[in-house]
Structure 1
Amino acid sequence: MDIRFTRRTAVLIFWDIAATFLAYYFASLLTGLAHEVFGTHEIYFLLGAAVVVNLSFFLAFQLYNNLWEYASVDDALRIVVAVSISTLVTAVFLWLMGHWIPIRVYVGALLLMVFFTGGTRMLFRVMRSKSREFELVKHAEMRPRTLIVGAGETGSLAIMRMASKDPLMPGEPIVAVDDNVSKRKLRVHGVPVLGTSEDIKNLVDRYGIEQIVVAIPSASLEQRRRIYQICTQTDCQLRTLPNVRELRVDEIEDVSLREVDVADLLGREEVVLNTRVVCGYISGKTVLVTGGGGSIGSELCRQMCTVAPWRIVVFDMYENDAYLLRNELMSQYDDVDVVVEIGSICNFERLRDVFEKYRPSVVFHAAAHKHVPLMEMCPREAILNNVFGTLNTVKLSDEFGVDRFIFISTDKAVNPTSVMGATKRMGEMVIQHYAQESKTVFAAVRFGNVLGSNGSVIPIFKKQIAEGGPITVTHPDIERFFMTIPEASRLVIQAGGMASGGEIFILDMGDPVKIVDLAKSLITLSGLKVDEDVRIEFTGLRPGEKMYEELLMNEENTLPTKMKGIMISTGKEVSYSEVGSKLSELEAILSGTDEEAVEVLERVVPTYTLTRNVACAN
């Protein structure tokens, strides 16, 4: 019997006990049997049995786990059934024990119990409704004339909420469109469906539309992209909302409009985790995530919480992000123990303390220096953190018998032209080196840019747009692979369950995207015009930067896996002794100069092509 004892639960239980006494007292009073019932010793048996039976059935019918602010007719029926059965069981039990109470008392008590217990719970819904009305008055604002794209379940919700002047969905619903032609000229909550997505521009002009709400979450990605492109050709503010079928009951009333993001244009079809594979190695286990406060590390933690690990240890140098993540996860997943440990992967003894204290079964190694231009200026720091920080984590995982170790790599490790890429390639070699001898399953996952990560191109572009421009792009032809942070994290977790040792998994990044096209999309989504409102300037390639990213080295091929979106590299393995020799060379150069460090890095990573415009800082 699953019950969470909160303050509200305690209050409800106390009230139900009091309601039981009141119900039988007033039932006896109203039936004229107060003296016969309450004037004898039978009352002690009656009230004691009634309280125990009532609470037992209320627990069984989940009357203490419901969010009564969102109570429905089904919830009210559940109260009636629970009270009816508990009253019947009480009557039969007392009769069998030889305690006779008139039937009229039970009937009256049943009706009063429904009133007392049901009325109290329904009061939560009334209070919430009044609270929302108060917020509406408090935050009243001009509502933009709105066109809704989609006349299905989600579109219907949007129209209904706007029509009721919900502050979370500001807008006056004027007209709707739907690509299902059978819905044409129908009305959804009084709003006419006057065409398909091809009619959006004409309807915007005809009805003076100021806002477009895209409410078709179940449409294919290509359909959504096409509709977004049509909408961006208007001057309207463009917004969307999530699929109501994917929301819990308690989330539906709080769902709000959000601006369409570039991820909506570049994203792919939703990746669904194979929970059987993932649960098999994460559920009930202690998982350590290095760099756990970062963009990828934090999302790995969020995704893993859904499959019930025993504990997640967030290890990070930066306490602010780690602290915020811990608070977020603890508020949403009270069945997962989330702890934060502050430290650097370069500090072997500190890292050892964490392994000794928590004994993790799974390690996701996401900690790394990742910014290409900065690492060109600080190559020894890149080597120290990305190579020897990884080596420290790998050594301790091997020593403490970690079951699985997943290394987060990058497409910049493929035929690298940057210090960062070369150090990540060396990290892959370390993984393959230890996989040959260790009982721990070591594997790497390689993928490209993620949308919206800390310090990545999209937040920078958004800041430049907010400042009025210009947006700076290094070259008109430069391309990058992009993937959303949640999708990348889900695939990394999935790949971890597929690993058997030494693999380099490669995520299917789709087609590369021109950075200049990304910049133009962001300007348009902001309601501005390219060149007219915000200019784009080309600044030239930075040190270590490639024109095009790759996912495979020259000698590599890929094999498909059973999981869509994940491939395995078939490149040649690095010999055990060879990696040890490379690590010795790199360790010796840490006390040298930056120029020497770059030269040694070029020697130990054969695929590294040194760009001679590296800016070294000694």
Structure 2
Amino acid sequence: MLNRILGWSRAAKRMVVVAMDICLGVIAMWLAFTLRLETPHWPSGMQWLAYALAPALAFPIFAKLGLYRAIFRYTGITALITTGKAVAIYGALLLGCLLAAQWEGVPRSVGILQPLLFMLLVGASRALGWLALAGRSSHAPYRLLIYGAGSAGAQTAAGLGSMRQYLLKGFVDDDASKIGRSINGVRVHASNALPEVVRRLGITDVLLALPSTTRERRRQIIESLRELPVRIRTLPGLSDLASGRVTVTDFQDLEIEDLLGREPVAPDPGLLGRNLAATVVLVTGAGGSIGSELCRQIVREGPRQLLLVDHSEYALYSIHHELAALAHQGEHACALVPLLASVTHKARMADICQLYRPTSIYHAAAYKHVPMVEANAGEGILNNVFGTLNMVQVALECDANHFVLISTDKAVRPTNIMGATKRVAEMVLQAIAASPRAPFPQLADSSPAWTCPTRLSMVRFGNVLGSSGSVIPLFRKQIAAGGPLTVTHPDVTRYFMTIAEAAQLVLQAGAMAEGGDVFLLDMGEPLQILELAERMVALSGLTVRDDLHPEGDIEIVFTGLRPGEKLFEELLIGDNPFPTDHPRILRAREEYRPWEELQTLLQALQKAAQAGDPIAMTALLRQLVPGYHPETQPVLP
């Protein structure tokens, strides 16, 4: 029956509520006369006017204050307060009318009794409606605990009335002063009693309503929940909560940074904006994972012009469209220039740089997926090595002040072509920065005192969370599909960092460059991918299916290391990196070949890549990069 009523149109349900209020007004008037006259009452004479006056006054007041726009399932304190105000206004008008009219047979005290009774009846009708709808949620598929009995938890609980999927069974909090108390009739439990509470109440989901807690504390809480058969969800930030938009779609799966438990270091505003404010900045690979985040961070620093370079039309359109709104939010508007171009086309890049004269260049364009580059070695070399060389040359030609190469931990003792090409790209910058004479004679005289006019630097770091090809979204998709989760090897480990933190550190590292610098980002402790997979399964409220637990939900399958893939990554080729002014940025001084020697090998490598000769490419990369030991045979065409 209740489901059929809820299926009615909004207008039909509103008419039912209006009719109910009219009936309640009449009933309240009858009760008021009966109590005043101390005998069951039947109206007569002028008393009929009092009965007609009650709904005639109540309906416009209730409509004006929005009581017929409210929805019963969302009824809360605000709706009850509004109802009280409406009845108070109605009571004052009713009493005033009765005092002014002085109808025969209508006691003036009815003007006081009737509104009080009316208030009780209307309030009871709203409460009964809410209880009836709340009772439907007792069959909700998910039984929820909210971890956090503060303001965020209370606001979330208030918003749960619209979520038929969730039945709130309790709060959990670490604050001893809150334990045993209740919020809107829902009990607050101690955090150390969680296992027993989950078992006794049949909890399926735990929602972390802790938007202001530290990341380390969140990680500790998540670890304490890992062994429980519940799914862990989280809320958006405080700003979204404050806006009152708490819906089921706001309940998010845990981000991997919650599992890392590392607090980001606040950026140094002086470093962050040093090379950016009121300048022309160029970003290659602007539509990629790192490039797009660099652009977001750069726009906030107020450059005069931001040149977005990418060879993918869709990626370029997407980042340009996104940045258009940000570009005019600061004190100074930033002109965005989307440029379709490939870094392998030197003439096109030279035209761009000569036209716009960028002050700083951030070179993020690269082929980075290890198996893909392994299977397309020639294109990987032309793009990663000679695309970088092209960009360095045009940076020198247009007198750019700073050039920053985005590198990777895979460049350290590489076992794959992608890592080897990135290490060669690093060596190009190091050799040019240290060359005793101009590597491009047309740019400077032959004086031995010549120094590179552009500060060249590179920033090396590991995996960023959420990048294209990242393991995190892959695992989420596989869990949603019921598994299996694919892990290459049980011992494989990787460093992880958020894209936003990595981009901020890249910008700050570039501002500290002196020329030829190799900067390393402190990635924290490496994470075992198998452990990450097991955590994600457990925190989804599921269990891993293996030989010891054949009844589990999700299987983890080992697929073997991909071509060129390493078990673990490193950030440093040598030893003893130097600290910088930033606690998360280190500086390394690593060995490289002088430009004269490097130039000859590069010419041979370019010819081999253009000819598609895998044997020659591998041999030259091994000669160029000490420590390069390919684990697979060259891919023959």
Change (3 A) 1:501 1:325: same
Residue 195 of structure 1 pairs with residue 190 of structure 2: yes
1:596 counterpart (602, 608, 616): 616
CA contact (8 A) 1:288 1:364 kept: yes
Q: Which among 470, 490, 508 is matched to residue 522 of structure 2?
A: 508
The answer on whether the counterparts of 1:277 and 1:494 sit within 8 Å (CA) in structure 2 is: yes
* Structure 2 match to 1:182: 177
Q: Name the counterpart of 2:98.
A: none
Q: What is the rounded CA distance, in whole Å, between the counterparts of 1:606 and 1:521 in structure 2?
A: 37
Deviation at 1:423, TM superposition (A): 0.5
Matched, 1:537 2:557: yes
- Inter-partner Cα distance in structure 2 for 1:473 and 1:157: 40
Which residues of 2 match residues 326-475 of structure 1 at below 5 A?
Answer: 326-334=320-328, 335-436=333-434, 437-475=451-489
CA distance in 2, matches of 1:307, 1:572: 35
Distance, in Å, in 2 between the alignment partners of 1:575 and 1:427 is 14
1:124-139 equivalences in 2 (<5 Å): none
In structure 1, the partner of 2:496 is 482
Pair 1:570-2:589 in alignment: yes
**Corresponding position of 1:495:** 509
Deviations 1:242-280 (A, max 9, x none): 441xx3898664783312133321252123111122122
| Contact kept? 1:145, 1:209, Cα under 8 Å | yes
Residue pair 2:219, 2:261 contacting (<8 A) in 1 also: no
Query: TM-score scaled to structure 2, two decimals?
Result: 0.70
Alignment equivalent of 2:269, drawn from 249, 272, 275? 275
User: 1:243/1:466 Cα in 2 relative to 1: closer, same or farther (>3 Å)?
Assistant: closer
| Runs of 5+ consecutive residues of structure 2 not aligned to the other structure | 1-132, 435-450, 546-551
- Opposite residue 178 of structure 1, the aligned amino acid is D
Query: Which of 572, 578, 586 is the matching residue for 1:559?
Result: 578
Whether 2:602 is the aligned partner of 1:583: answer: yes
Distance 2:372 2:255 in 1: 28
Distance in 1 (CA, whole Å) between partners of 2:261 and 2:311 is 31
2:311 matched residue in structure 1: 317
Contact 2:343 2:390 in 1 (8 A): yes
The Cα shift of 1:575 comes to: 2.3
Percent identity over the alignment? 41
Asked if structure 2 preserves the Cα contact closer than 8 Å seen for 1:406 and 1:443, the reply is yes
- Code of the residue aligned with 2:176 in structure 1: it is V
Tell me if the contact between 2:216 and 2:263 (Cα under 8 Å) persists in the aligned partners: no
* Cα offsets for 1:143-168 (capped at 9, x unmatched): 84421112234333323333xx356x
Match of 2:219 among 222, 225, 230: 225
Do the aligned partners of residues 254 and 317 (structure 1) sit closer, same or farther apart at CA in structure 2, a change above 3 Å counting?
A: farther
1:129-152: CA deviation from partner (whole Å, max 9, x where unpaired)? xxxxxxxx9xx9958442111223
**CA gap 1:429/1:481 in 2 versus in 1, 3 angstroms:** same
2:278 aligned partner: 284
Distance 1:539 1:328, change over 3 A: same
Query: Are the counterparts in 1 of residues 286 and 309 from structure 2 also a CA contact under 8 Å?
Result: yes
Q: CA deviation at 1:322?
A: 2.0
What residue identity is the alignment partner of 2:399?
G
Partner of 1:603, secondary structure, is: helix
Structure with larger Rg: 2
Give 2:570's match in structure 1, choosing from 550, 568, 583.
550
- Counterpart of 1:160 in structure 2 is 158
Q: How much does 1:338 deviate?
A: 2.5
RMSD: 2.5
Contact 1:556/1:572 (8 A) holds in 2: no
Which range is displaced more, 403-412 or 218-227?
Answer: 218-227
Cα distance in 2 for residues equivalent to 1:529 and 1:546: 28
Residues 360-407 of structure 1 show CA distances to partners (whole Å, capped at 9, x for unaligned) of 211111110111112222221111000000011111111111121111
Structure 1 gap segments, 5+ residues each: 1-136
Aligned partner (choices 221, 233, 253) of residue 259 of structure 1: 253
CA distance in 2, matches of 1:414, 1:346: 24
Paired with 1:320 and 1:175, the residues of 2 have a C-alpha distance of 47
Contact 1:289/1:363 (<8 A) preserved: yes
User: Structure 2 matches for 1:38-117, cutoff 5 A?
Assistant: none
Of 536, 539, 544, which residue of structure 2 is paired with 1:522?
Answer: 536
What's the offset of the Cα at 1:558?
0.4
Deviations 1:12-69 (A, max 9, x none): xxxxxxxxxxxxxxxxxxxxxxxxxxxxxxxxxxxxxxxxxxxxxxxxxxxxxxxxxx
Once the 2 structures are TM-superposed, how far is the Cα of residue 602 of structure 1 from its aligned partner?
A: 0.8
Contact persistence 1:443–1:501 (CA under 8 A)? yes
Q: Helix, strand or coil: the match of 2:174? A: coil
Q: Which residue in 1 is equivalent to 2:549?
A: none
1:205 aligned counterpart, secondary structure: helix
